[in-house]
């Protein structure tokens, strides 16, 4: 069958659906073979040949020439020598006879079946493509559109015919408007029969990292690096940063003039506080920086166990520990050191020398 229209349409379908021509041809070929089986009593002896240069589609049925049909042989795979010689005069037993079958000759039901298989196959290809796209975005921040909501959950459109949901409490009140765009972090993607199931978060600590990278060019370029990050979602975050360029101050780069850069991130996190401190190869300095805004008098470290005792003025003990131990906990998580914070008086009572 010659069909220039088919191959022209193939190009357009491949472009519109975002899938390769080879995959579409594979699906269409399966549809044609299914149609062939319906019209030829379930015979399994055919293959589909696409010749794009000649705009030709062929179904080729293959038969083994035999003296007598073996009743246990696969249906439609054998042909008697008498039948074969009607197709090819010099056919002999043991020869392989190929017969071209024209798709135009298929019945209406068979042709409809081929079309259905193509449609279903294209949908499956799109689902697989979408799964691959979102799998590559795991660990990345994306922008999603608010398309529906109720009292508990918000439905987000991620693109590529894919939606997901997120707790309404995780979004800003100003975000809770149909059509608004919000930034979310993709944590996991699963394949389902209906397409990819994409899990997103606004509370994952890595969302802060991606938001900072988006707002701070030096982070994007690798001049400044985030060495540690800890977060109590919606309340406070502590970030440890370092500079790979001695001429660039990592704190200044992250804060921006008058704090404009970090304010952009804070606003996107609904006012969540962000403490930024400087990384140091010196454990004492690192621990001292980590417990800021409190000032340390001294730091005693045990590099082997990666533990430290930070001694602070009596009037800064509560500041160093923080409400419900938050500052100390975030300092430990972001620095990677186990830190025991003590007041100056406690250090004297416990005979801690520094």
Residues 19 and 118 occupy one common structural domain: yes
Tell me which H or E stretch contains 300: strand 298-302
> What pLDDT, in 10s, does the model give residues 154-180?
999 999 999 999 999 888 788 899 999
Can you tell me the distance from the alpha carbon of 53 to that of 252, in angstroms, rounded to the nearest whole number? 62
pLDDT at residue 115, as a whole number: 67
Burial, 335: exposed, middle or buried (Cβ in 10 Å; 0-12, 13-18, 19+)? buried
pLDDT at residue 14, as a whole number: 79
pLDDT at residue 87, as a whole number: 86
Is the model's pLDDT at 33 over the cut of 90? no
Residues 128 and 219 occupy one common structural domain: no
Residues 333 and 345 occupy one common structural domain: yes
* Phi, psi dihedral angles at 280 (to 5 degrees): -145, 145
Structural domain boundaries, residue 179: 137-201
> What pLDDT, in 10s, does the model give residues 72-94?
888 778 889 898 898 888 999 99
The domain tally of the chain equals 4
Least confident stretch, 57-66, 289-298, 307-316? 57-66
For the chain, percent of residues with pLDDT exceeding 70? 93
CATH number for the domain that contains residue 345:
3.30.300.20
Over the chain, what is the mean pLDDT? 89
pLDDT at residue 113, as a whole number: 59
pLDDT at residue 25, as a whole number: 84
pLDDT at residue 102, as a whole number: 65
Burial, 17: exposed, middle or buried (Cβ in 10 Å; 0-12, 13-18, 19+)? middle
pLDDT at residue 58, as a whole number: 80
| pTM given for the model | 0.71
Is the model's pLDDT at 107 over the cut of 60? no
CATH number for the domain that contains residue 94:
3.30.1480.10
């Amino acid at each position: 069958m010659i069909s220039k229209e088919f191959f022209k349409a193939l190009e357009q379908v491949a472009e519109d659906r975002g899938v390769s021509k080879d995959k579409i041809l594979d699906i269409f070929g399966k549809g044609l073979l299914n149609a062939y089986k319906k019209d030829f009593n379930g015979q399994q002896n055919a293959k589909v040949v696409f010749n794009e240069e000649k705009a030709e589609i062929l179904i080729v049925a293959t038969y083994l020439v035999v003296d007598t049909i073996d009743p246990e042989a696969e249906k439609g795979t054998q042909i008697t020598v008498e039948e074969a010689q009607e197709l090819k005069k010099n056919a002999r037993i043991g020869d392989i006879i190929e017969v071209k079958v024209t798709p135009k000759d298929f019945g209406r039901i068979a042709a409809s079946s081929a079309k259905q298989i193509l449609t279903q196959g294209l949908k499956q290809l799109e689902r697989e493509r979408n799964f691959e796209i979102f799998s590559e975005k795991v660990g990345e921040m994306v922008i999603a559109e608010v398309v529906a909501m109720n009292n508990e959950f918000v439905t987000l459109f991620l693109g590529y015919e894919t939606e997901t949901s997120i707790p309404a409490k995780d979004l800003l009140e100003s975000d809770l408007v149909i059509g608004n765009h919000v930034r979310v972090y993709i944590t996991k993607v699963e394949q389902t029969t209906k397409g990819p199931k994409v899990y997103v978060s606004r509370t994952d600590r890595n969302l802060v990292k991606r938001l900072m990278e988006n707002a701070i060019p030096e982070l994007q370029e690798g001049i400044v690096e985030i060495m540690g990050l800890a977060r109590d979602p919606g309340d406070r975050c502590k970030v440890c940063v370092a500079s790979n360029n001695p001429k660039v101050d990592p704190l200044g780069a992250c804060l921006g003039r008058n704090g404009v850069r970090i304010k952009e991130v804070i606003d996107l996190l609904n006012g969540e506080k962000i403490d930024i401190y400087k990384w140091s190869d010196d454990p004492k300095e690192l621990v001292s920086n980590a417990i800021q805004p409190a000032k340390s008098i001294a730091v005693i470290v045990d590099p082997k166990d990666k533990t430290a005792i930070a001694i602070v003025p009596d009037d800064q003990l509560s500041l160093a520990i923080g409400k419900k131990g938050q500052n100390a906990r975030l300092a430990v998580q972001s620095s990677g050191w186990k830190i025991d914070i003590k007041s100056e008086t406690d250090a004297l009572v416990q005979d801690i020398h520094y």
